[in-house]
Structure 1
Amino acid sequence: GYPNEACGVLAGDLSAREGGRPVRFHGLRNAADSPYRYEIDAQEQLDTQLAIEDAGEVVWGIFHSHVATPAEPSPTDVGLAFYPDSLYLICSLADEVAPEVRAWTIRDGVVAEVPLAVG
């Protein structure tokens, strides 16, 4: 977490692409220990994926923060987007008073914003 990028996975009843809803958040350690990028440890990612599947859930979304940049996917984020059925949620902490969270689909390098509804 802060001052480094934070990251995690949201589990859902169905994929975001299928209209599912998030039901559980799995906070994960940023193995990169960096304020400029995140990296999920491969074993922690596998363990989380198995726990999600064991619960009868799917990966609904991938979350990470941007410490000093907008809540928009960076070229690195796009290049490392391997879950086309999931949403990518990015929280910008650039404005400490008003953090911003935005959601995106990233499929085959094509990025599209998705409106977020909380409630």
Structure 2
Amino acid sequence: MLTITRDLYDRIVAHARADHPDEACGVIAGPAGSGRPERFIPMLNAARSPTFYEFDSGDLLKLYREMDDRDEEPVVIYHSHTATEAYPSRTDITYANEPGAHYVLVSTADTDATDGTTPFQFRSFRIVEGEVTEEEVEVAG
């Protein structure tokens, strides 16, 4: 199960809506070994695409060095789908290389309004060696 604060949940959704119609992406880091998502790190989708996301390699290297210096790890890796349901695509599964992370997907496919009144999907998955398992999301606070 992924337990996430209301603030982090809202920030992921806001980022997904702000970058629509392109996919949004980012990381929530937490203390190494804790499994607690704490530090929200929105990233730039270097692909600038409505159907694909890609972390900029330089930004990603900088992020991993920073997390290492802070004794953190990626607890949540998130991105949005702009035209499909919030479920990992074959490409998402192929690029999932953090077996300990929660992979969160937000679908903005039904989001036309920016006022937050239209529905969306917020789902979390574990992806280990190509195997996708959906998990419950608990929003705390």
> Which segments of 5 or more consecutive residues in structure 1 lack a partner in the other structure?
none
Secondary structure (helix, strand or coil) at the match of 2:27 reads: strand
Task: Give the share of equivalent positions with the same residue, in percent.
Answer: 41
C-alpha deviation, 1:13, in angstroms: 2.1
CA RMSD of aligned residues (A): 1.1
* Partner Cα separation in structure 2 for residue 83 and residue 55 of structure 1: 18
**Counterpart check, 1:20 vs 2:38:** no
**Counterpart check, 1:61 vs 2:93:** no
Q: Which has the higher contact order (CA 8 A, sep 6+)?
A: 2
> Which segments of 5 or more consecutive residues in structure 2 lack a partner in the other structure?
1-18, 112-117
Check the 8 A contact 2:20/2:108 in 1, yes or no.
no
Structure 2 residue aligned with 1:39: 54
2:124 to 97, 103, 119: 103
In the alignment of these two chains, the number of paired residues is 116
TM-score (norm 1): 0.92
Secondary structure (helix, strand or coil) at the match of 1:58 reads: strand
The code of the aligned residue for 2:121 comes to E
Q: State the Cα deviation string for residues 43-102 of structure 1 (Å, max 9, x = none).
A: 100111111222221111111000011000001100111111111000001121012110
Structure 2 residue aligned with 1:117: 138
* Partner Cα separation in structure 1 for residue 31 and residue 137 of structure 2: 17
Secondary structure (helix, strand or coil) at the match of 2:139 reads: coil
The code of the aligned residue for 2:21 comes to P
Higher relative helix content: 2
TM-score (norm 2): 0.78
